[in-house]
Structure 1
Amino acid sequence: MADAVLQSLSASSLFDLRGVVAVVTGGGTGIGLMITSTLIANGATVYIIGPKQEDLEKVAKVYNDAAAKLPGRGKIHSIEGDVRFKSEATRLAEEIGKREQQGITVFFNNAGINGGKFTRPQAATAEAFVKSYFDPIKQEDFDVTLNTNAVGPYWLTFAFLPLLEKWKNNGELAKKFVPQIIMTSSMNGWTKDPATSGFSFPYLLSKSAIGHATSTLAHELLPLGIRVNGIAPGFFITEMSAPGTIDAIGESHGENYPPSFETPTLPNGTRRDMGSLALMLIANWFINGETVLIDGGTLLKHPSSY
């Protein structure tokens, strides 16, 4: 008996994702690609959604070619889509639903942008604050950022609910991996220091909204047995946070890229950090309504409400 217990608790058993079907918005770049590559490394089928099919296919080919050389690995499928719009959410769910008749295991609302940046005021006067916070920000900065980071995930969550509910009919596999939605929030949903967001109020507001949506949706979806959890990253090297430091397969070459704020441990999180958190959330069915902060302790150094 004990040997069966030990086998069931081994990493190779807990995190064996063969048969799992995941959808990752923004899954071809940045944090999304960190999640995607981890999932296929452990056997999952992953659909990545992004704005340009050509870019998605390039990333998918690189990783699929590598996965084909190794046993038990998964596969990436790419679908172009604009996550901001309700009509696109419906189309994407229908397209993936046609391919995955058994439903999907997990949906990552991950796509995000950081727009509408400002600089610190040069003086403690109302005029200086207006020049920093008001003048350089456009209405479009708020519209695009909030629609991408907060409104789009709402449409996508409900568009994909039927596919997540379908997953519950998959016998033992559905018992091992309970259907789930995972939101990518940010430590900036709780910070009181805009430096940690790269000085973007639209980004701060959008990530705060996603943090609240995570717990609210987890409560609302209890009757369906579909969990909702969140990831709140700190500083990870991506094309958004460190432009020009990422290669064609999403690997960072900016390990020493300095953040614009103080961090108490290493300067940035890694693919391994993000990937292992994604695996934990997928494998652990006793977590619901939580947003996990993964920031290297940054918010211990900056004022926040976390």
Structure 2
Amino acid sequence: MEWKGRRQSDNIEDRRGTSMGRGGFGNSPFGRGVRIPTGGRGGGLSIGTIIFLVVIYFVLKLMGIDMLQMMDGGSTSSGYEQSQGTRPSGTSNDEMTAFVRTVLAETEDTWTGIFKASGETYEKPTLVLFSGRTSSGCGTASSATGPFYCPTDRKVYLDTDFFRQLQQQFGASGDFAEAYVIAHEVGHHVQNQIGVLPKFNQARQQMSETQANQMSVRVELQADCFAGIWGKFTDQKGILEAGDLEEALNAAHQIGDDTLQKQGQGYVVPDSFTHGTSEQRMAWFKRGFDSGKMSACDTFSGAI
């Protein structure tokens, strides 16, 4: 992918190297972000650890140290603005940052043109780079959750270490594979702007978990298709190189629900799928890539 030397987006928040401010779940339509699945499992604190932390808290309290006040920064505000950390030198101008800025700029150009052709204005999202953990309008963002889009604050969250995971754990290497991940999350922003995500949120309140999962798959596959549209316009600019399309399709395959479940637990549970099978994800990305039209990305009518 010939990305160097092209325009870079300014719609980036680089939070790497900062301590995470105290935050909680906001008023997200989903209570969480719309993310790339990683197949990971969450963890928790043991009872013994919790008791130990409580004892430490009260000991420090007797010494005149209020840990809650320190964590809160003396304010009721939430978010990374409360961070007292400093960004390591060089991280904002490294090659990975330049790559992310360039890919985001290309998505901006693509969707601005598509919206303009329909007489509408594309509202550019902000992409947040972080390391480890950070706060978002949809709650705490962490490396374990993978890249995701938060419809509440209209931001894409990306820990660039995920690209290493994409290569080493999922076997999906290549810059266009990484670009596909960004384009997919931007696809969710497009869905939010055209009303797909709000409608999904409203409808899912009346659905069973299985029905909501099935609808979620359609939402995710449409985002894959939108990512394919971006790939089409990128290819028309002469940016793509031989093998780039295959990189994106391989990435889509490696993060399919069935593939992740087979790798993680040895069997698949179709009713729990939320993003689509490997075959579906590849097919819908390719459909967007081949057509370059949003009308080809109707995943809500008929079989998928």
For normalisation by structure 1, the TM-score amounts to 0.29
Give the structure with the larger helix fraction: 2
For normalisation by structure 2, the TM-score amounts to 0.29
Q: Higher relative contact order at CA 8 Å, sep ≥6: structure 1 or structure 2?
A: 2
